[in-house]
C-alpha cells in the first residue's frame, strides 16, 4: 500500500490514547491492518455523524462503537428504530464473513454480550419511559402534536396560564381538562392572554384527544424517567447500554424523536459543567436522525442547535445516524467533529447532487478521489475522519470496519421477556396519578355546580320569601377562592414560585427547577 498514506494514517491515529477502533485503512482495493483507524474517547464529546445509503452498515457502525464504549466504562444510550440493535445484549456467533473481516482488519474478534437495559414508550418492548407534560414543555409538545406556529404559541400561553393558576400538568388528561375548561366554563379567562382564541384552544383540544386515542397517554405522567439511570456503570466496570426500542412506535416518528430530544435537554439541565473529560459520561446515538429535523419549526431547530452545542461541556457526546448529511441542519452539522461516511449511491441526478454536497463536507486529501471512493465503498466500509487529541479533523481515510462482537440482529421475545422485569423496569412499571390540573378543575367544576345549585335554591327562596341574599357570581368566586387557598393549591403554588428561574433550555423543556 501507498507508504505516504500509511505514514499519514500512523500520525493521524496514535495508539497511546484511549480510543475506540473503527477498522483498517483501505486503498485501491488493498486493506492494511496497521495502523488501525481510531476515535479517541476524549474526542467523543465533539459529537459525530454516521451517514450513508441504506444497507451500507450505519447501524453496525453504531453497534461496534457502542460496544467498545461500554467495554471502556462509558455508558451509552441508543435508539433502536428498526429493532435490529437489541442483539448487543447477546454474544455474536462466529461466521465466515465475520472471520474474514476480523482477519482483514487484524482485529481480535471475541464474541461478547453487553450489559443492556431495554426501554420503550409503550412498556411492551422495554421498561416504560415516561415524562410529565410540564417537563416536556410547550415546544416539544407542539412538535409531537404537529402544530403550526400560531397554534404552538397558543399552546405556550396555555402552559403559562397553568403556571399562573397553579395548575399542575402531569399527564395528557391534565392538559385535556385545562383546554376543555378554557373552551367552555373558563373561556372568559382567555381575555387576559392576548392571542388565545377559543377556536385555537378547540383545535388543541382535538389534537390532544387524537394523541390520547393513539395510546400516547402511557408515556406522559409519573413516575417520570430519571435520566441518572442512563449513567450507570456495572460492577465489572462496563458502561450500561440503554436501548430505547422503538419498533412498537415506528409509525410515530414525531413522538419518539421528540422524546429523545427531551432526554437530551433533561441531561443538559441535570448534569454539571465538567469541561473536557478523558472519556465521556454518556454517548447518545440518534439513529434515523432525519426524523428529528423533519418539519421542525425554526425555534425547535434553534433549540436543538443549542442543546448539541452546550451538552458537550456536560460530558455528553451525540452521534447522529442518517442517510445523508443534508438531513441535518448546517448549524448542527458544523458541530459534528467525527465523521463516518458510508457509501452513497449515484443513480439519479439528485443522488449526484447529494454526492457532491457530501464530498464538500469532507476534509481534503491527496490520497483519494472523494466522489469516486464514496460511490465505490463496500458494505461495512466508510470514509472516516476523526478528531485528533488537538481537536483538529484528520484527513479522511477509507476504512474497512471491524465486526461487532455482539449479535448482529434482534432479540427474540424470549430474550426480551426477562428484561421487562429488571429492577429498573419495575421502578417505572406502574403509573401514579397524583393530584394535578384535572383533579383541580374537576373540583372547581363541582364547586361551581354546587354554587349554582345553591343560587338556584336561594332564588327559589327569594321568590318565596322575597328576601335578598348573596349573588351567585360571588358564591362562585369564593368557591374558587377557597379552592385556591386549599393546602393542595398552596403546595402547588410554592412548587411553581420556587421554580420560575427558567434555564436556557427552559423554553424547550418547559423546565421548572425543583
Cβ proximity to ligand ATP: between 287 and 455 the closer is 287
**Of the candidate residues 45, 59, 395, 509, the single one contacting ligand ATP (CB under 6 A):** 59
- Residues 403-422 touching ligand ATP, rule: CB under 6 A, are 403, 408
CA distance 63 to 76: 10
Q: What's the closest the beta carbon of residue 259 comes to ligand ATP, in angstroms?
A: 20
Residue 126 in the binding site for ligand ATP (CB under 6 A)? no
Partner interacting with residue 130 (select from ligand ATP, Mg ion, none; CB below 5-8 Å by kind): none
Q: What's the closest the beta carbon of residue 374 comes to Mg ion, in angstroms?
A: 18
Binding footprint of ligand ATP, residue count (CB under 6 A): 15
* Residues near 239 by beta carbon (within 8 Å), at least 6 away in sequence: 69, 70, 71, 72, 73, 74, 75, 76, 115, 232, 233
Cβ proximity to Mg ion: between 266 and 288 the closer is 288
Q: Which segments of 214-297 does DSSP mark as H helices, in order?
A: 253-270, 290-293
Cβ proximity to Mg ion: between 45 and 56 the closer is 56
Cβ proximity to ligand ATP: between 218 and 341 the closer is 341
Residue 47 in the binding site for ligand ATP (CB under 6 A)? no
CA distance 189 to 167: 14
Q: Cα-flanking dihedrals φ and ψ of residue 508, to 5°? A: -75, -45
Q: Is the dihedral of CA 451, 453, 456, 462 positive or negative?
A: negative
Q: What's the closest the beta carbon of residue 146 comes to ligand ATP, in angstroms?
A: 25
Site string for Mg ion, 44-83 (x = CB under 5 A): ---------------x------------------------
- Rg of the chain in Å (alpha carbons): 27
Could you tell me what percentage of the chain is helix, strand and coil, using 3-state DSSP and rounding each to the nearest 5? Answer: 50, 15, 35
CA distance 453 to 171: 31
Cβ proximity to Mg ion: between 80 and 135 the closer is 80
Q: What's the closest the beta carbon of residue 172 comes to Mg ion, in angstroms?
A: 31
Per-residue cell: 84: 435490529
Largest CA distance in the chain: 110
Residue 57 in the binding site for ligand ATP (CB under 6 A)? yes
Site string for Mg ion, 394-433 (x = CB under 5 A): ----------------------------------------
| Buried b or exposed e, range 135-154, using 16+ CB within 10 angstroms | bbbbbbbbbbbebeeebbbb
Cβ proximity to Mg ion: between 81 and 211 the closer is 81
* Residues near 502 by beta carbon (within 8 Å), at least 6 away in sequence: 511, 512
Q: Give the residue among 98, 96, 44 at the shortest CA–CA distance from 70.
A: 44
Partner interacting with residue 55 (select from ligand ATP, Mg ion, none; CB below 5-8 Å by kind): ligand ATP
**Of the candidate residues 38, 60, 279, 419, the single one contacting ligand ATP (CB under 6 A):** 60
Q: Which residues bind Mg ion (CB under 5 A)?
A: 59
Chain residues binding ligand ATP by CB under 6 A are 52, 54-60, 64, 101, 379-380, 401, 403, 408
Amino acid at each position: 500500500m501507498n507508504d505516504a498514506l500509511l505514514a499519514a494514517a500512523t500520525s493521524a491515529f496514535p495508539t497511546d490514547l484511549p480510543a475506540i477502533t473503527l477498522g483498517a485503512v483501505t486503498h485501491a482495493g488493498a486493506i492494511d491492518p496497521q495502523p488501525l483507524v481510531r476515535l479517541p474517547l476524549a474526542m467523543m464529546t465533539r459529537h459525530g455523524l454516521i451517514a450513508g445509503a441504506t444497507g451500507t452498515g450505519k447501524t453496525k457502525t453504531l453497534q461496534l462503537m457502542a460496544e467498545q464504549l461500554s467495554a471502556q466504562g462509558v455508558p451509552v444510550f441508543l435508539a433502536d428504530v428498526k429493532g435490529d440493535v437489541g442483539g448487543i445484549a447477546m454474544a455474536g456467533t462466529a461466521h465466515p464473513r465475520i472471520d474474514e473481516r476480523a482477519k482483514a482488519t487484524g482485529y481480535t474478534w471475541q464474541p461478547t454480550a453487553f450489559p443492556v437495559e431495554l426501554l420503550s414508550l409503550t412498556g411492551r418492548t422495554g421498561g416504560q419511559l415516561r415524562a410529565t407534560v410540564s417537563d416536556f414543555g410547550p415546544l416539544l409538545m407542539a412538535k409531537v402534536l404537529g402544530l403550526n406556529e400560531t397554534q404552538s404559541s397558543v399552546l405556550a400561553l396555555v402552559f403559562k396560564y397553568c403556571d399562573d393558576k397553579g395548575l399542575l400538568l402531569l399527564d395528557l388528561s391534565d392538559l385535556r381538562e385545562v383546554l376543555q375548561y378554557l373552551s367552555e366554563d373558563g373561556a372568559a379567562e382567555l381575555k387576559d392572554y392576548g392571542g388565545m382564541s377559543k377556536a385555537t384552544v378547540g383545535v388543541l383540544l382535538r389534537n390532544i384527544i387524537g394523541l390520547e386515542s393513539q395510546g400516547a397517554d402511557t408515556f406522559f405522567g409519573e413516575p417520570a424517567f430519571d435520566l441518572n439511570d442512563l449513567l450507570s456503570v456495572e460492577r465489572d466496570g462496563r458502561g450500561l447500554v440503554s436501548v430505547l426500542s422503538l419498533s412498537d412506535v415506528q409509525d410515530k416518528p414525531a413522538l419518539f424523536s421528540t422524546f429523545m430530544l427531551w432526554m437530551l435537554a433533561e441531561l443538559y439541565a441535570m448534569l454539571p459543567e465538567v469541561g473536557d473529560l478523558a472519556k465521556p459520561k454518556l454517548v447518545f446515538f440518534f439513529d434515523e436522525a432525519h426524523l428529528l429535523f423533519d418539519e421542525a419549526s425554526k425555534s425547535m431547530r434553534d433549540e436543538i442547535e443549542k442543546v448539541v452545542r452546550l451538552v458537550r461541556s456536560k460530558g455528553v457526546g451525540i452521534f447522529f445516524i442518517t442517510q445523508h448529511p443534508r438531513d441535518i441542519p448546517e448549524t448542527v452539522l458544523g458541530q459534528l467533529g467525527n465523521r463516518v461516511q458510508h457509501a452513497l449511491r449515484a443513480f439519479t441526478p439528485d443522488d449526484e447532487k447529494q454526492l457532491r454536497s457530501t464530498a464538500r463536507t469532507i476534509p481534503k486529501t491527496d490520497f483519494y478521489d472523494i466522489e469516486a471512493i464514496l460511490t465505490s465503498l463496500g458494505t461495512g466500509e466508510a470514509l472516516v475522519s476523526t478528531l485528533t487529541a488537538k481537536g483538529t479533523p484528520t484527513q479522511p481515510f477509507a476504512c474497512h470496519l471491524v465486526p461487532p462482537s455482539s449479535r448482529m440482529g434482534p432479540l427474540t421475545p424470549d430474550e426480551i421477556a426477562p428484561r421487562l422485569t429488571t429492577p429498573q423496569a419495575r421502578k417505572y412499571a406502574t403509573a401514579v396519578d397524583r393530584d394535578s390540573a384535572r383533579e383541580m378543575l374537576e373540583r372547581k367544576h363541582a364547586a361551581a355546580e354546587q354554587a349554582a345549585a345553591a343560587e338556584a335554591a336561594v332564588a327559589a327562596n327569594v321568590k318565596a320569601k322575597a328576601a335578598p341574599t348573596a349573588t351567585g357570581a360571588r358564591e362562585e368566586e369564593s368557591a374558587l377562592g377557597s379552592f385556591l387557598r386549599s393546602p393542595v393549591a398552596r403546595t402547588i403554588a410554592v412548587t411553581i414560585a420556587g421554580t420560575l428561574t427558567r434555564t436556557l433550555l427552559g423554553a424547550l423543556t418547559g423546565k421548572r427547577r425543583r
